[in-house]
């Protein structure tokens, strides 16, 4: 593994505090520059806002993690050198996401950037004498692409992606502390702190993560989870952390296949849309979905403590069933109505439900 068992001093706490403040400062700067130079994406039909908001908040999150790591390295915390490959691998994902926020990048371009990030990780392993088999390399690349994009998929409401990242990274930090992986815990805590520094700006609708944020956060979480799965008593513990994004992705793929639509075609049938359609506020909708992310993440922590893959599988199955039933994906009548809505929709004019008005 890139990240092996190493000792870290208590500088991690100071670095996390630094990360939060740096993230807040960089996010404030990104907000000002975004408003000045109009780094705002045009609200589309599947978005839940109707005003122009800077979409470059990821600059604050990624920048804070990188700067905090560099400062800690200068403080002679040598073991943190093994964190650098992960942050370097995330760079092409961040750059392509930023380009998409400012101009436009195709989904294929984003996937290529994620595959490049996986290749950088594999090259870093080879540089330190650790080799991936062909199967392991393909598994890493597939895991990164699926989970990175699944996390990007949930970035549809204010504070939803950042709140979910805080929950998921916190639980990854707990798992890695219990398994003696301080470097992984350190990176997880830096991510938590950076998201906390960004959170108030997003909560007040001052700036959005953008793809440079959601894709980069998803990528870093994906790599941490992949590394964590190799040292836990049950690899499913780390996979459970991504339970909410993967569940969202599963139902998204199902409904688009049901309607015969391209998998990458946007719609307004995600969990956060359905909650808004039902009349819940942005705060209530985000809160419910972050709690779902917390339930899956705590399942991962419990699985590691118990060391039982059966516990994880049973818990994930129950959560998946409850979510699917609650949102109507396990009812034939609801699925039939959903298919009709999707069949009548177009990219320009997506389906409306219960008088839904963006940002209501």
Rounded mean pLDDT, 314-323: 94
Q: Reduce the DSSP state of residue 40 to 3 states and report it.
A: strand
Q: Reduce the DSSP state of residue 54 to 3 states and report it.
A: strand
Domain annotation covers residue 284: yes
**Residue 91 pLDDT level (bands cut at 50, 70, 90):** very high
89's tokens: 């691998």
Domain annotation covers residue 243: yes
Q: Which residues contact 45 (CB under 8 A, 6 or more apart)?
A: 266, 268, 347, 348, 349, 350
CB of 95 closer than 8 Å to CB of 198: no
CB of 267 closer than 8 Å to CB of 253: no
Based on the structure, what is the number of domains in the chain?
1
Q: Reduce the DSSP state of residue 101 to 3 states and report it.
A: helix
Domain annotation covers residue 220: yes
Domain annotation covers residue 182: yes
Domain annotation covers residue 354: no
CB of 218 closer than 8 Å to CB of 248: no
The region of weakest confidence among 67-71, 167-171, 202-206 is 202-206
Domain annotation covers residue 2: no
What domain range includes position 290? Answer: 11-344
* Radius of gyration, alpha carbons of the chain: 20
Domain annotation covers residue 72: yes
Gap between the Cα atoms of 321 and 173, Å rounded: 28
pLDDT of residue 224: 94
Gap between the Cα atoms of 143 and 152, Å rounded: 14
pLDDT of residue 348: 42
CB of 142 closer than 8 Å to CB of 33: no
Distance of CA 137 to the CA centre of its chain: 21
Q: Can you tell me which residue has the tokens 């301080």?
A: 182
Gap between the Cα atoms of 202 and 357, Å rounded: 20
φ and ψ of 101, to 5 deg = -70, -35
Domain annotation covers residue 5: no
Phi-psi domain of 260 (left: phi exceeds 0; alpha: psi -120 through 50; beta: other): left
211's tokens: 């793809």
pLDDT digits (tens, 9 = 90+) for 188-203: 999 999 999 999 998 7
pLDDT digits (tens, 9 = 90+) for 217-275: 999 999 999 989 888 878 888 889 999 999 999 999 988 887 777 777 777 888 998 89
């Amino acid at each position: 593994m890139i990240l092996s068992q190493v000792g870290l001093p208590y500088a991690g706490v100071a670095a996390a505090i630094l990360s939060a403040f740096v993230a807040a400062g960089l996010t404030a700067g990104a907000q000002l520059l975004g408003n000045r130079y109009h780094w705002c994406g045009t609200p589309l039909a599947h978005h839940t806002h109707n005003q122009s908001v800077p979409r470059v908040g990821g600059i604050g999150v990624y920048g804070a993690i990188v700067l905090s790591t560099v400062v800690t390295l200068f403080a002679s915390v040598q073991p943190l050198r093994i964190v650098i490959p992960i942050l370097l691998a995330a760079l092409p994902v961040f750059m392509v996401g930023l380009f998409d926020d400012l101009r436009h990048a195709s989904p294929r371009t984003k996937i290529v950037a994620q595959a490049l990030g996986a290749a950088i990780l594999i090259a870093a392993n080879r540089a330190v004498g650790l080799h991936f088999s062909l199967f392991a390399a393909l598994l890493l690349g597939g895991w990164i692409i699926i989970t990175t994009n699944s996390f990007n998929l949930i970035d549809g409401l204010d504070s939803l992606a950042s709140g979910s990242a805080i929950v998921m990274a916190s639980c990854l930090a707990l798992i890695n502390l219990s398994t003696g992986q301080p470097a992984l815990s350190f990176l997880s805590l830096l991510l938590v702190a950076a998201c906390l520094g960004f959170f108030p700006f997003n909560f007040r609708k001052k700036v959005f993560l953008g793809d440079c944020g959601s894709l980069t956060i998803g990528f870093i979480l994906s790599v941490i989870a992949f590394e964590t799965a190799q040292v836990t008593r049950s690899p499913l513990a780390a996979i459970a952390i991504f339970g909410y994004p993967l569940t969202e992705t599963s139902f998204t793929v199902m409904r688009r296949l049901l309607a015969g639509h391209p998998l990458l075609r946007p719609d307004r049938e995600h969990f956060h849309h359905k909650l808004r359609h039902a009349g819940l506020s942005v705060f209530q909708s985000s809160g419910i979905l972050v709690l779902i992310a917390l339930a899956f993440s705590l399942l991962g922590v419990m699985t590691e403590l118990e060391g039982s893959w059966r516990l994880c599988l049973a818990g994930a199955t129950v959560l998946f069933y409850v979510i699917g039933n609650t949102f109507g994906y396990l009812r034939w009548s609801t699925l039939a109505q959903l298919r009709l809505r999707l069949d009548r929709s177009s990219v320009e004019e997506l389906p409306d439900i219960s008088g839904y008005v963006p940002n209501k």
